[in-house]
Amino acid sequence: MVSKRKSRTSKTIEDSCIHLCSVFFRSLYYTLPALFLFFFLLYLCLSFTTGISYNNFHICIFSRKFNDPYCNTAGSKPGYQIISEENVTFAGETAGDRILDSVPVQEHKTKNKVDLNSLIELKAEEEYSKYIKPTSEDEGYALRAVIKYLYLQRSSLSPGDENLNNPRSCEGKGVYVYDLPSKFNRDLLVGCNDILPGVNLCSYFKNEGFGEAITNLGKGWFATHMYSLEPILHSRVLKHPCRVYNETQAKLFYVPYYGGYDVLRWHYRNVSEDVKDRLGIEVLKWLESKESWRRNAGKDHVFVLGKITWDFRRDKDPWGSRFLELQEMQNPTKLLIERQPWQVNDIAIPHPTYFHPRTDDDITRWQIKIMSKLRRNLVSFAGGARPDNPNNIRSTLIEQCISSNQCRFLNCTNESCTNPKNVLDLFQDSEFCLQPPGDSATRRSVFDSLISGCIPVIFTPYTAYYQYAWHLPEDHRKYSVYISEQDVKEKRVNVVEILKAKTLKEKKDMKSYIVQQLLPGLVYGDSNAKFEKFRDAFDITFDCLLKKINRSVV
């Protein structure tokens, strides 16, 4: 008979097993959360990176959700961006879009300046031969310099100080207007019937420089002269919401010297170079007596000159003055309708057009009108030939245009273009507007075509792409078509045939971008303009000016 009782040995072993299992599961119960926490912390550590620069401690999160690492900096607001190979992108847009995404906000610090310079060097190396193939090493260096200065100017559009980005705040944005003796501005307009021999300019000085109203075009349209930038901006600055009357409260100093009209009156007169230079030298002597000028050697001062830069850079040719070549003029910012591409303080801003809206509604009504306009011409060209200049491509373009039934030519040599309505009607009736260089690289006609919803066809980057860094986007394909001037000159291409190949979607996208995105920022509203929704060319210019000066003057 077998006993059913367990032996003492068996029971002891069983009790030991139960005890061991109990201990194991209890330890597992307590260690699993710890293990889970350990692996979670390990994951976070692998997802973060840290960096130390300028005594700041940066924690940056890298994620596929973000194109750039988002960094939080001890002792400052989030906004510092680490420079990485993936982050080196220059998605240049016009005002309001992201420019130089990878440029650190705190640019006044030395390390960040080095980062910015490195990025610009990289872009210059990538893009210097984008439009023009250099034929020599020196030309290559020159083209690299153009790109460097262009991107340096675009950096004024990148995110910056919170107050500077708030258009309704005047903190740190005081604008001081010098009360210059009238001989430097208003007196230059008094002899308006004799500034140019045989030409009466008096009608152009009406309405604060806008000229006479063009009633048959509607509200906000004026017969504005192409050199009227100085009185137009002067009247706006006088009513700037951040204008201050105490020099110590100013961040920006505006010098209302009408240098464009000063030099214009001597263009066709036989006078000495001393006479041409006299008034410009006098205004600088007047400024040198001011502590506000001496404090920062003019770095926080701005001049508006309503002509092209070359009219103020007399060299061997006796044309113009040497105002911009004077040593005292190297630090101030100069606003011009055409800049010298190798001068970082030369800033090109839009040529004045005929449209000067006062309200958001004025702009919106015009946008609706030209978006719905039926365009009967594929291509048009308003201009004249340059028979005395064999390097100019205008004659070739005219020949190609008149030989096509899809291109319309308006001959400006017979004064047809002096009537603004003739030009605007042509541009509003065309999908593409040819914009070859004229007496200089830039053309007012580029801006007349843009505000008419006509896609400009550009033949040299110096006409627009290397000029208007604050008002036109880096990607020219959004608003224009580029055709090499050299290809046209050597008759390797037919411009009309190239434009015929553009798809309906391409044309629609460009036109929409021009009208909806660019147009408001290319026009100068009148001195009483009240914009809430839009920023006009003046607003964009002075927003960027304040950011530029905020960085250059510590």
CA angle centred on 209, ends 207 and 234, rounded to 5°: 110
CATH level 3 topology of 360-522: Rossmann fold (3.40.50)
Could you read off the pLDDT tens digit of each residue along the chain, which spans 554 residues? 444 444 444 444 445 444 544 544 455 455 555 555 555 544 444 443 333 233 332 323 222 222 333 233 323 222 222 222 232 222 233 433 333 333 333 344 455 555 777 888 888 888 888 999 999 999 999 999 999 999 999 988 855 555 555 667 898 899 999 999 999 999 999 989 999 998 999 999 999 999 999 999 989 999 999 999 999 999 999 999 999 999 999 999 999 999 999 999 999 999 999 999 999 999 999 999 999 999 999 999 999 999 999 999 999 889 999 999 999 999 999 999 999 999 999 999 999 999 999 999 999 999 999 999 999 999 999 999 988 888 899 999 999 999 999 999 999 998 899 999 999 999 999 999 999 999 899 999 999 999 999 999 999 999 999 999 999 999 999 999 999 999 999 999 999 999 999 999 999 999 999 999 999 999 999 999 999 999 999 999 999 999 999 888 86
**What is the rounded distance in angstroms from the CA atom of residue 518 to the CA atom of residue 480?**
12
What pLDDT sits at residue 35? Answer: 55
Q: Which of 250, 333, 259 is nearest to 291 (CA)?
A: 250
Contact by Cβ (8 Å): 97, 124: no
| 3-state SS string for 228-294 | CHHHHHHHHHHCCCCEECCHHHCCEEEECCCHHHHHHCCCCCCCCHHHHHHHHHHHHHHHHCCHHHH
What pLDDT sits at residue 510? Answer: 98
What pLDDT sits at residue 167? Answer: 66
What pLDDT sits at residue 156? Answer: 85
Question: Could you tell me the residue ranges of all domains in the chain?
Answer: 53-157, 170-353+536-552, 360-522
Q: Which two tokens stand for residue 102?
A: 């990878």
Q: How far apart, in Å, are the Cα atoms of 536 and each of 64, 363, 368, 424, 428?
A: 36, 10, 17, 20, 21
What pLDDT sits at residue 391? Answer: 84
What pLDDT sits at residue 300? Answer: 97
95 CB-near residues (< 8 Å, 6+ apart): 157, 470, 471, 521, 535, 540, 543, 544
What pLDDT sits at residue 389? Answer: 85
What pLDDT sits at residue 90? Answer: 28
What pLDDT sits at residue 390? Answer: 81
Q: How far apart, in Å, are the Cα atoms of 152 and each of 303, 397, 543, 545?
A: 19, 35, 16, 13
